[in-house]
Structure 1
Amino acid sequence: MRSAWLLPGGSSPGQTREDTRLSPLGTFTPETEVRTRSGVLAGGNPFTASGAGPMSLQIGSGRAVVQGTDAQGAYPVCLDAPVTLTFDDGNAQFTRIDSVVARVYDGLYDTEGKTVAQVERITGEATAEPSPPLLPAGCLRLWDVAVPAGTSAGVGGIDWGSALTDRRQYTAAHGGIVPAGGGSASPGAYDGQYRDTGTGLERWSAADEAWQVYPPPPAGWVPYSATLTNVVLGNGKFISRYQRIANRVIVGWALRWASNTSGNMPVIGLPVPPATLGGMMWTGNGTINKGSGSWRGGWAYLADDGTAISTYALTTTGEVTSNFLAAGISMQAGGWIQGSIEYEVAG
């Protein structure tokens, strides 16, 4: 594996001109004020894993950025040819989980005595409830490999089809959209980071510590208790709903007339702040059924800065009125009035 930003390695290769050209020097996703987000660069299928024998795994080529300690900074690395890793036999009693990592050794900061970047295996602990091993600084987890108890080449080795868990976390230049990877729990690096799930975009919310669908899905319909005037509901029923998408509001309602409901066309209080667009007036539609016979057309009106929706019935001459008598309508039990209106609010 090649890496940039390493000193000449003495007996190890250190950094060469080819290392500098192949390593992803322009990749930088900030995780804190001084840390860079470790991750794999998208393009093809980087660091792919495939069984190479009963206890051997081949890791394909790829490029990545590996963050060390805050003092070290981040190392761009490149695996320009596949490597094969051999796994130890399984524990006699318990399963263990090993991790395949891209690791940077830097003699200026660690005590390993070498200056090199490589893909290697870090062995986990065999327990009744195994978990992946903790990683030292300068490591990027690529794959987890479950090694069941008693596994060895003599009994068929590791079942690569079920043993591998993809832990490749992706990164990109600052502001770039990264592919989803590293498991569903892989967090974003900063507030407002975007990732591509394969079917759409998600945005990282630092406040909620979660990936959220972007753009946000429209809000659902929300019931609300409207204040009614111009009608006495009695034993009737009034249902009201609204939906707000950004600064646009849709209000729908249905009034069910009953035996002791009385009055005229309702005036309906708003569920949200009033419409404010410099004198704009908003209109909507409605229908009225007196309880038998044909339906009558209706109309809704909201003045700018208004706090309630006025509803009207159409007369036989096409005018509008809020008075049933003027419209020639005699409401009966079982009748109904329903409608909707759409308007905008500030902010």
Structure 2
Amino acid sequence: MTVRSAWLPANQQSRSDTRLAPTGTMSPTGPLTSRPGALPGGTPLLATGVAAMQVRIDPGRAVIQGTALQGAYPVVLSEAETLTVADGDAQYARIDLVVLQVYDHDYDASGQTAGVLRLIKGVAAAGPQVPATPAAALALWSIAVPSKASAGTGGITWASALTDLRVYTVGAGAILPAAGDTAPGAYVGQYRDTGSALERWNGSAWTAYPAPAAPVGVWQPYTPTWRSDGAAPAVGNGSLSGAYTKIGRTVHVRGRLQIGSTTVLGSGAWFFGLPVPAAVGAIAGIIWAFDVGIAINTGAVFIEDNRTEIVAFTSGSAFPWSVSRPQPWAAGDHLNFTLTYESAS
């Protein structure tokens, strides 16, 4: 017997059974359940076609989850085993399934207490499907068996017939090898290695870790806040938009306020929010306003002492821009600002 399981036999469990079986591997999927899968390391449970109608499964270790109360079975295939595939159907192709399975009479009334490597024969059909994986079993490989396949007709083309269905499991907190694995995460905060990057399970999806940073030098949209130190303004049917790019701690910003027919101008000095907090207050840029059909007014942009907003002053004036400065605002007017400053982080 090459398939051995710890804590499954009613008696005769050897000390080597206990040593070989992965008794310490438990990646939880629930209060009483563990993620099933092969243990990484080398090429566990690798399939190789060794004859026209024969496939060899190499040694490997795995955890197979039964029902919640049944528990998880540590299983080891300690030596390579060769399985013989039945001849193909006379008319249709089929798909067979290689599984590592546990029989436990106390729970499945199978009359057996053993771990086995099985080949489940699929149903031949015009559109063949992979057989369902039995309870307390781990799918390893599927085999596409063409019609009329046999040792006498050349058998199975193994290079294209085998599909790898192996998934992997690791202990809680370990990084899961998961190239090509579509299974959901076991718990929030689990990490997996896709073969080219790390991902973190957030409870509903695998997400890139760390989160990808905004491309350097690419402008990102943002909507500036707009407030006053008097009655509150409101954009109404006008528009307020902005964009910024951050290179290290240097931030470049542009913004635009378009006055609409229902825009509320408020009262008092106007303040516009920054996309990221600034390190120090300073003169940081310029602002200009277009007074429809009349004039263009310019001014300087100051970063306020609270370091999260800017305020504008007309050149040579101590008065900040507001409902009445530097012009009487009307629908169609707009202001634009650009600035550069050092961010706090």
Taking structure 2 as the reference length, the TM-score comes to: 0.72
Q: 1:313 to 1:64 in 2, by over 3 A?
A: farther
Q: For residues 19 and 303 of structure 2, what CA distance do their matches in structure 1 show?
A: 68
Q: Does 1:90 align with 2:102?
A: no
Q: For residues 283 and 111 of structure 1, what CA distance do their matches in structure 2 show?
A: 80
Shift of 1:70: 2.0
How large is the Cα RMSD of the aligned pairs? 4.2
Checking the alignment, whether the CA contact within 8 Å between 1:300 and 1:340 is kept in structure 2 is no
Checking the alignment, whether the CA contact within 8 Å between 1:90 and 1:147 is kept in structure 2 is yes
Q: For residues 88 and 283 of structure 2, what CA distance do their matches in structure 1 show?
A: 72
Q: Does 1:338 align with 2:328?
A: no
Corresponding residue number in structure 1 for 2:137: 139
Shift of 1:184: 3.8
Name the amino acid aligned to 1:221: Q
Checking the alignment, whether the CA contact within 8 Å between 1:41 and 1:62 is kept in structure 2 is yes
Secondary structure of residue in 2 paired with 1:109: helix
Secondary structure of residue in 2 paired with 1:338: strand
Q: Does 1:301 align with 2:303?
A: yes
Q: Does 1:105 align with 2:103?
A: yes
Checking the alignment, whether the CA contact within 8 Å between 1:282 and 1:342 is kept in structure 2 is no
Checking the alignment, whether the CA contact within 8 Å between 2:256 and 2:337 is kept in structure 1 is yes
Secondary structure of residue in 2 paired with 1:217: coil
Corresponding residue number in structure 1 for 2:175: 177
Percent identical:
41
Corresponding residue number in structure 1 for 2:210: 215
Taking structure 1 as the reference length, the TM-score comes to: 0.72
Q: For residues 314 and 195 of structure 1, what CA distance do their matches in structure 2 show?
A: 57
Name the amino acid aligned to 2:197: G
Q: For residues 198 and 85 of structure 2, what CA distance do their matches in structure 1 show?
A: 37
Name the amino acid aligned to 1:193: Q
Q: For residues 208 and 314 of structure 2, what CA distance do their matches in structure 1 show?
A: 42
Q: 4+ residue runs of structure 1 moved beyond 3 angstroms?
A: 225-229, 248-251, 280-290, 311-315, 320-323, 340-345
Corresponding residue number in structure 2 for 1:233: none
Checking the alignment, whether the CA contact within 8 Å between 1:238 and 1:253 is kept in structure 2 is no
Checking the alignment, whether the CA contact within 8 Å between 1:240 and 1:251 is kept in structure 2 is no
Shift of 1:242: 4.9
Corresponding residue number in structure 2 for 1:270: 273
Secondary structure of residue in 1 paired with 2:108: coil
1:205-244 Cα shifts (integer Å, max 9, x gaps): 22x3x21111111358234366499xxxxxxx98612579
Name the amino acid aligned to 2:242: S
Shift of 1:42: 0.8
Q: For residues 110 and 8 of structure 2, what CA distance do their matches in structure 1 show?
A: 15
Corresponding residue number in structure 1 for 2:119: 121
Shift of 1:123: 2.0
Q: For residues 79 and 30 of structure 1, what CA distance do their matches in structure 2 show?
A: 23
Name the amino acid aligned to 2:311: S
Q: Does 1:34 align with 2:32?
A: yes
Corresponding residue number in structure 2 for 1:253: 254
Q: Does 1:5 align with 2:18?
A: no
Corresponding residue number in structure 2 for 1:262: none
Among 21, 27, 39, the residue aligned to 1:23: 21
Q: For residues 195 and 83 of structure 1, what CA distance do their matches in structure 2 show?
A: 30
Corresponding residue number in structure 1 for 2:162: 164
Shift of 1:304: 2.1
Kindly report which structure 2 residues correspond to 1:315-330, keeping only aligned pairs within 5 A, or say none: none
Q: Does 1:190 align with 2:187?
A: yes
Corresponding residue number in structure 2 for 1:232: none
Checking the alignment, whether the CA contact within 8 Å between 2:301 and 2:310 is kept in structure 1 is no
Checking the alignment, whether the CA contact within 8 Å between 2:45 and 2:58 is kept in structure 1 is yes
Corresponding residue number in structure 1 for 2:223: 224
Q: For residues 211 and 73 of structure 2, what CA distance do their matches in structure 1 show?
A: 36
Checking the alignment, whether the CA contact within 8 Å between 1:190 and 1:204 is kept in structure 2 is yes
Kindly report which structure 2 residues correspond to 1:227-242, keeping only aligned pairs within 5 A, or say none: 227=226, 240-242=242-244
1:248-304 Cα shifts (integer Å, max 9, x gaps): 996721569xxxxxxxxx9662277x96x9xx74558446899xxxxxxx7641432
Secondary structure of residue in 2 paired with 1:154: helix
Q: For residues 60 and 20 of structure 2, what CA distance do their matches in structure 1 show?
A: 10
Name the amino acid aligned to 1:72: Q
Q: 1:251 to 1:128 in 2, by over 3 A?
A: farther
Name the amino acid aligned to 1:252: V
Work out the number of aligned pairs and report it: 300
Q: 1:97 to 1:300 in 2, by over 3 A?
A: farther
| Unaligned runs of at least 5 residues, structure 2 | 229-238, 258-268, 290-299, 322-335
Name the amino acid aligned to 2:221: V
Q: 1:302 to 1:160 in 2, by over 3 A?
A: farther
Shift of 1:143: 1.3
1:157-213 Cα shifts (integer Å, max 9, x gaps): 2121112221111111111111005x442221222211111222111122x3x2111
Checking the alignment, whether the CA contact within 8 Å between 1:242 and 1:271 is kept in structure 2 is no
Shift of 1:342: 5.9
1:129-171 Cα shifts (integer Å, max 9, x gaps): 3322112221011112222233222222212111222111111
Shift of 1:128: 3.0
Q: For residues 127 and 109 of structure 2, what CA distance do their matches in structure 1 show?
A: 31
Q: For residues 145 and 310 of structure 2, what CA distance do their matches in structure 1 show?
A: 68
Checking the alignment, whether the CA contact within 8 Å between 1:179 and 1:196 is kept in structure 2 is yes
